[in-house]
Amino acid sequence: MIQSDVAETRASRNFTLILVILLIWTIITIFGARLIYSGDVSLGDVVKTGIAWQIFAAALFLVCVIRFLNWRDLGLRGPQSGTLRLLWLPFLILAMMGILAVLSGLPPVPVVVMILLNTFLVGFSEEVMFRGIFYSALRDRLPIWTAIIWTSATFGAVHVLNGFVTGDFGTATVQAIAAAASGLVLIAIRLRTGSLWIAIAYHALWDWILFVGIAGSAGPVPKQVGATPSIAVMLLPFLLVLPNALYALWLLRGVGRSLPLSDPKAL
């Protein structure tokens, strides 16, 4: 019965349909922001000034798609027993980031709560789209490492479009590179725990701590016209996620030879 359900689910994941879903999701997420906000706006302001309705709409769209198409193998279940201990390093990094955010000063409680709400929406929406729907569709057709690389690369590439929201494509490109590296640890979490919910939680907590730290800092550094960011500043986002990316490669060692239990092909 389980194998029959999985086979039916795979049959419903026509890749053209997946690309259409990704396109619609992107339009809602990125260009929906242009309809809501007048002019360029920083991502920090998006998550702290009110509910990010475009993110909510994109998440709701994915929920409707999943329910309508009856996709049951996206990993929206609890973690497999004993797998959470594998995530000691990613959560240790989160704890260190949290300590630094507290030491730098926290914003008012309502702002902290609003950022938490919005980063949960971001984590849910992006993880369901990429580590859920997109990865599963690729895995139906490609070797597991090819699916992992394409999922992470596409996840990173979409972040370049943040430039349409912020007006800064240079910074958006740096964010895209960091997001692609982050995609490795998020897919590793998805595969090794068997739970997309854990990847959603980690993604949301990472963004929450990061944006709380930004909101609680003294304020943005004034832009200098014609100034070129230093190499160190441009590399900082990537260096922040590098330990997680390297640990993800360790978690995924041998994955091509031995399919994790959470992989749809193992069912």
Residue-wise pLDDT for 127-154, tens only, equals 999 999 999 999 999 999 999 999 999 9
Residue-wise pLDDT for 237-251, tens only, equals 778 899 999 999 999
With a cut of 50, say whether residue 220 has pLDDT above it: no
CA quadruple 130, 176, 253, 210: dihedral positive or negative?
A: negative
The whole-model pTM stands at 0.89
Predicted local confidence at residue 233, as pLDDT: 58
Entry field: residues in the chain: 267
Amino acid present at 157: A
Read off the pLDDT band of 205 (50, 70, 90): very high
Alpha-carbon distance of 243 to 185, in angstroms, equals 10
- Element spanning 51, H or E: none
When the pLDDT of each residue in the chain is averaged and rounded to a whole number, the result is 88
Nearest CA among 42, 37, 34, 39 for reference residue 221: 42
Higher pLDDT, 6 or 244: 244
Predicted local confidence at residue 264, as pLDDT: 46
Joined tokens for residue 121: 């929406």
Residue-wise pLDDT for 79-130, tens only, equals 999 999 999 999 999 999 999 999 989 999 999 999 999 999 999 999 999 9
Read off the pLDDT band of 13 (50, 70, 90): confident
Alpha-carbon distance of 203 to 185, in angstroms, equals 10
Predicted local confidence at residue 103, as pLDDT: 92
Nearest CA among 213, 219, 220 for reference residue 104: 213
Predicted local confidence at residue 3, as pLDDT: 53
Predicted local confidence at residue 1, as pLDDT: 47
Alpha-carbon distance of 260 to 59, in angstroms, equals 27
Predicted local confidence at residue 263, as pLDDT: 47
Read off the pLDDT band of 232 (50, 70, 90): low
SS3 assignment, position 72: coil
Joined tokens for residue 18: 């997946």
Residues 6+ apart with CB under 8 A from 77: 194, 195, 196, 197
